[in-house]
């Protein structure tokens, strides 16, 4: 079986060909899956059991700058503050440098994120996507988007979708080495689409997605059913996108998220990412819908709730959820 570093080596140009600049920088948006990725066919290479489809969050994401540092060790600055070398962020970057075969010494990585980390708002996705693009810029590797998507995937699966704005599909691929498992953007634009994030906790998640996926696949009786459902949901979602049928779009995304969480609840021991506030927000959304406001929820591996709605309902949504953070995936500028 291929290892991650062997895959990275196959993609990266020879170190002698690299044209390192003074600095490299990149922005990558956070992405929220509408049709979720939950389960790996290869754990080491982060190869998924099914395709998945996401929407990127416009200006919400991660801006990363890489450059030389006088300090002999890797320095990671997160939102203007030095990250502790023992922190998961610092350790995660160090591991990623090693898998890319890069020397982390004398490197400084500046990360600015405008989304909360580790609470199910896909911070690792935009983090790894921004990092690989900034490294590509810094070292002048000249990699294309597909190669960057594969390398981002090696950091965190869903990161391979954060290379683009808009709707993005990640192909599961068939190959064992994962060279055909990458994302690509869809052409559909949906100017009125809004994604709201309601933060219900600032704490780190009790169980990471990696372990939770493993536990679900190994023990949930619903897993087979889930992976078959994803294929149907994906087909129906693409049809809804083509027709810009918001009711179908929202219902498919919502039921896909409910099915993913049901599969986790069926695991042994059960995995429940929701807290009391999560449940309360979801009930409020169902109530709003009964009152005639078309809005739907989705939830990832964390307690925060994302709300899908159309621009015309913004005031109404803001009145109910006063602290909501709203992304406009298709707004330019």
Judged by the rule CB under 6 A, the positions of this chain that interact with ligand PMV are 33, 36-38, 52, 124-125, 156-158, 209-210, 300-301
Minimum Å distance from CB 45 to ligand PMV?
Answer: 12
Which one, 15 or 231, has the nearer CB to ligand PMV? Answer: 231
Residues 197 and 299: their CA atoms lie apart, in Å, by: 10
Which one, 43 or 84, has the nearer CB to ligand PMV? Answer: 43
**With contact defined as beta carbons under 8 Å apart, do 228 and 49 qualify?**
no
Minimum Å distance from CB 10 to ligand PMV?
Answer: 22
Minimum Å distance from CB 54 to ligand PMV?
Answer: 6
Sole residue written with tokens 């996401």 = 54
Ordered alpha helix ranges (H), the chain: 4-11, 88-99, 123-139, 145-155, 209-219, 223-243, 246-265, 276-290, 314-320
Minimum Å distance from CB 80 to ligand PMV?
Answer: 25
Tell me the helices (H) and strands (E) count for the chain, helix number first: 9, 13
Q: What is the CA radius of gyration of the chain?
A: 20
Which one, 37 or 182, has the nearer CB to ligand PMV? Answer: 37
Minimum Å distance from CB 124 to ligand PMV?
Answer: 5
Which one, 12 or 117, has the nearer CB to ligand PMV? Answer: 117
- Determine the distance from the C-alpha atom of residue 60 to the mean position of all C-alpha atoms in its chain, rounded to a whole number: 12
Q: Which two tokens stand for residue 174?
A: 């068939």
Which one, 75 or 298, has the nearer CB to ligand PMV? Answer: 298
Minimum Å distance from CB 261 to ligand PMV?
Answer: 9
Residues 155 and 215: their CA atoms lie apart, in Å, by: 20
Which one, 32 or 102, has the nearer CB to ligand PMV? Answer: 32
């Amino acid at each position: 079986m291929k290892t991650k570093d062997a895959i990275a080596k196959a993609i990266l140009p020879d170190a002698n060909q690299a044209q390192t600049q003074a600095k490299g920088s990149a922005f990558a948006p956070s992405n929220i899956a509408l049709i979720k990725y939950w389960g790996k066919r290869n754990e080491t290479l982060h190869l998924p059991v099914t395709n998945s489809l996401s929407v990127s969050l416009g200006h919400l994401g991660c801006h990363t700058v890489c450059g030389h540092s006088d300090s002999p060790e890797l320095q990671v600055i997160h939102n203007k503050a030095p990250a502790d070398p023992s922190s998961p962020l610092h350790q995660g970057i160090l591991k990623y440098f090693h898998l890319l075969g890069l020397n982390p010494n004398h490197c400084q990585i500046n990360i600015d994120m405008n989304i909360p980390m580790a609470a199910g708002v896909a911070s690792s996705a935009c983090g790894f996507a921004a990092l690989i693009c900034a490294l590509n810029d810094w070292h002048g590797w000249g990699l294309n988007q597909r190669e960057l998507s594969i390398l981002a995937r090696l950091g965190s699966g869903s990161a391979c979708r954060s290379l683009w704005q808009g709707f993005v599909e990640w192909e599961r691929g068939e190959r064992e080495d994962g060279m055909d498992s990458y994302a690509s953007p869809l052409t559909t634009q949906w100017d009125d689409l809004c994604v709201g994030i309601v933060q219900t906790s600032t704490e780190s998640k009790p169980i990471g997605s990696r372990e939770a996926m493993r536990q679900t696949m190994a023990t949930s009786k619903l897993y087979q059913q889930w992976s078959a459902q994803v294929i149907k949901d994906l087909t129906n979602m693409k049809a809804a996108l083509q027709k810009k049928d918001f009711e179908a779009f929202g219902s498919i995304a919502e039921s896909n998220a409910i099915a993913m969480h049901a599969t986790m609840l069926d695991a042994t021991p059960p995995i429940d990412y929701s807290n009391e506030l999560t449940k309360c927000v979801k009930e409020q959304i169902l109530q709003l819908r009964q009152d005639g406001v078309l809005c739907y929820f989705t939830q990832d591996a964390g307690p925060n709730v994302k709300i899908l709605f159309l621009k015309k309902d913004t005031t109404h949504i803001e009145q109910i959820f006063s602290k909501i953070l709203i992304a406009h995936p298709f707004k330019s500028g």
